[in-house]
Amino acid sequence: MKQKILYIGVAAVLSLTACNDSFLERSPQSINDKTFWNTPSDLEAYVNNFYGWLPSGVTSIADGESDDQVPNGIAQYFWGQFTTPTPEASSWCNWSKGAWSPIRLTNYFMTHYQTVVGSEADINKYVGENRFFRAFQYAGLMRTFGDLPWIDKELGTDSPELYDPKLKRYEIMDKIIEDFDFAIQWLPEKPAAGRIGKDVARHLKARTCLHEATYYRYHTELGWQDKAERLLKMAVDETDAIINSGRYEIYNTGKPEKDYYEMFVMEDKTNLKEAILSVTFLDGKRKHGMSRTLWEANTGFSKNFVEGYLCKDGKPISLSTYYKGDENMRNETTDRDPRLKQTILSWDFPTRVTLSTNDSTFIEEESKFIDQYCYTGYKSIKYFIPTDKAFEANNNTYDGIAYRYAETLLINAEAKAELGTISQADLDKTINVLRDRVGMPHLTINVGFTDPNWTKWGYDLSPLLQEIRRERRVELAGEGFRWDDLMRWKAGKICDNVKTYVGKRQPEKGGKYAIVYPNYTNEDYSYEAGKSRTWDDRLYLRPIPTAELQRNPGLLPQNPGCLQSWYTSSLPADRNRS
């Protein structure tokens, strides 16, 4: 039975009044500092409000800015169709009052908690939560902008720190690690249901270390390759600690054709061992509407993404005798990695189930896979329940997964492969545990094949890392990781491939691929400079709003390429398909 996990909201306590500086807001006006900061319970009440920053854990359509998913209308930043933002437009680039407010709130805690009376452990548990959330927020800003000012205390309108210069991102990273390490030291090993503990902090630290290590390694223009090894070892240490704790395991009931899908739609995930942190939804208390949202998502997976799945013999479609071609959905999904049919809508998955009569409907005409909500024909079904009840607006109560053990295993494998220390035993504890769930052959150290269609990253990559990256793409499909992966691997240019924004073959149209953006796509799917999507390296970091640079020259220089050359395309967002 689900446990009731209700966070005590303190929205009124944390109400703020805006001022002119993006990362400065006045003190929370509803707090009486003389009476509030007394007991550990006050600290708990304050940090409770931060739990809304965590992922809801019920989406599989979060990769629209990538080569994996294709929204019905173009993602404008991804397509380079933005100018350097003014203050009024700064929200899209994430340099806004809303983006910096979490830093302000966590720093307010750090300034005031010292008056609390209690044991060191009781107090530092909540200081650890607060510092975890500060690290969590700063890591997101760092991924977005790179170099940043580091603000770690409450500021006033005349604080000289408002005009501090940026620190290099590796210096910001050291500060983030300090916060994560404090959290790991003081958070409980076995937290109360619904609260973060050591393992959540370990997981987020490992994720951030892997991101930065690979960013430094592959963005050779920075000259920071020597800083990668230390961070990779941290990622390994933290994920090893989680793995060796024995508290987590991949959900596997011996049903390879169902377990991956059924884990996501499981109603009560309170005791799901794959969830490092589950997110509880309760009837009458807190609901979501993801099933209906997924059906009306206005996006779909790309042709390139679907082609990346291996066949059931563990070989790619370029080499496997099991591959039946892509003439229709049945052929394309048969004898593939079972996660494919548990990720996209296929011919034998019901589109609707009427509970009162136990009737099910399926797509019987190939052309019906493409509809007004999915122009590619590859609709996501992760977290989708097809019942008529589940389809009611905001009537879903199946829990989410904020942080999933599967990602922990993928971090561990990739970090060890990057270090060159990975063994077959490591693969068997990580990648192959994921493959066991779906009955796929094990990945071996020597891989055993050379795929002519391996991604051309723009640099040499070992066969093993090619396959680990493939595994990550498949296992975490649609969960919102792909953009950050492309950024850290310096892989934006792989999105110049037209197959990353077309859909399935259409037998009724002579086998042509579904074209989502006709204005940007040639009839023969060939790449054409000036028409096809073309990556620009300035997209690796978002621009700082011009008004912020004028207010604080210490934020200069602007991020690379985000100057007068930043353009707004004259082409409209293309919503016509064929």
**Per-residue model confidence as pLDDT tens digits over 19-44:** 333 333 334 546 788 889 999 999 99
From residue 48, give the alpha-carbon distance in Å to each of 53, 125, 177, 424.
Answer: 10, 13, 22, 42
Please, are residues 130 and 109 in contact by the beta-carbon 8 Å criterion? yes
- Name residue, tokens 């930065």: 212
- Name residue, tokens 């294709």: 70
Distance between CA atoms of residues 137 and 133, nearest Å: 6
Which of 88, 92, 91 lies closest to 78, judged by CA? 92
179-206 average pLDDT score: 97
pLDDT at 209: 99
515 forms beta bridges with 502
pLDDT at 4: 39
123-144 average pLDDT score: 98
pLDDT at 495: 97
pLDDT of 88 > 90? The answer is no
pLDDT of 15 > 60? The answer is no
pLDDT at 376: 98
301 forms beta bridges with 69
Please, are residues 367 and 510 in contact by the beta-carbon 8 Å criterion? no
Distance between CA atoms of residues 19 and 401, nearest Å: 36
Please, are residues 330 and 364 in contact by the beta-carbon 8 Å criterion? no
**Per-residue model confidence as pLDDT tens digits over 373-395:** 999 999 999 999 999 999 999 99
Pair type for strands 69-71 and 299-301: antiparallel
Give the Cβ contact number of residue 476 at 10 Å. Answer: 20
Please, are residues 291 and 297 in contact by the beta-carbon 8 Å criterion? no
Cβ-based neighbours of 263, under 8 Å, separated by 6 or more: 251, 272, 274
- Name residue, tokens 């709130």: 105
pLDDT of 6 > 70? The answer is no
CA neighbours closer than 13 Å in the CB half-sphere of residue 331: 13
- Name residue, tokens 């003014």: 86
- Residue 13's pLDDT band, with cuts at 50, 70 and 90, is very low
Cβ-based neighbours of 135, under 8 Å, separated by 6 or more: 176, 177, 179, 180, 183, 204, 205, 208
Distance between CA atoms of residues 19 and 62, nearest Å: 32
Per DSSP, the residues of 227-274 read GHHHHHHHHHHHHHHHHHH--------S-TTTHHHHHHH-S--TT-TT
- Residue 485's pLDDT band, with cuts at 50, 70 and 90, is very high
Please, are residues 281 and 410 in contact by the beta-carbon 8 Å criterion? no
399-425 average pLDDT score: 98
Q: How far is CA 43 from the centre of its chain?
A: 29
Pair type for strands 299-301 and 275-279: unpaired
Q: Which pTM was predicted?
A: 0.93
111-129 average pLDDT score: 97
Which of 293, 295, 268, 272 lies closest to 282, judged by CA? 268
Please, are residues 362 and 349 in contact by the beta-carbon 8 Å criterion? yes
pLDDT at 94: 74
From residue 256, give the alpha-carbon distance in Å to each of 177, 341, 405.
Answer: 38, 11, 18
pLDDT of 571 > 90? The answer is no
- Residue 561's pLDDT band, with cuts at 50, 70 and 90, is confident
> What's the 3-state SS for 357-379?
CCEEECCCCHHHHCECCECCCCC
Q: What b/e string do you get for 450-462 counting C-beta neighbours within 10 Å, with b at 16 or more?
A: ebeebbebeeebe
- Residue 574's pLDDT band, with cuts at 50, 70 and 90, is very low
pLDDT at 486: 98
pLDDT of 418 > 80? The answer is yes
275 forms beta bridges with 404
pLDDT at 95: 84
Mean model confidence pLDDT for the chain: 91
**Per-residue model confidence as pLDDT tens digits over 288-329:** 999 999 999 999 999 999 999 999 999 999 999 999 999 999
From residue 325, give the alpha-carbon distance in Å to each of 138, 301, 354, 386, 421.
Answer: 46, 18, 33, 28, 37
pLDDT at 565: 40
DSSP 169: H
Distance between CA atoms of residues 513 and 306, nearest Å: 13
pLDDT at 546: 86
Distance between CA atoms of residues 541 and 309, nearest Å: 30
**Per-residue model confidence as pLDDT tens digits over 329-348:** 999 999 999 999 999 999 99
Which of 76, 50, 72, 77 lies closest to 61, judged by CA? 72
- Residue 84's pLDDT band, with cuts at 50, 70 and 90, is low
Cβ-based neighbours of 496, under 8 Å, separated by 6 or more: 527, 532, 533, 534, 535
Q: What angle is formed at CA 127 by the lines to CA 122 and CA 133, rounded to 5 degrees?
A: 135
pLDDT at 169: 98
**Per-residue model confidence as pLDDT tens digits over 209-238:** 999 999 999 999 999 999 999 999 999 999
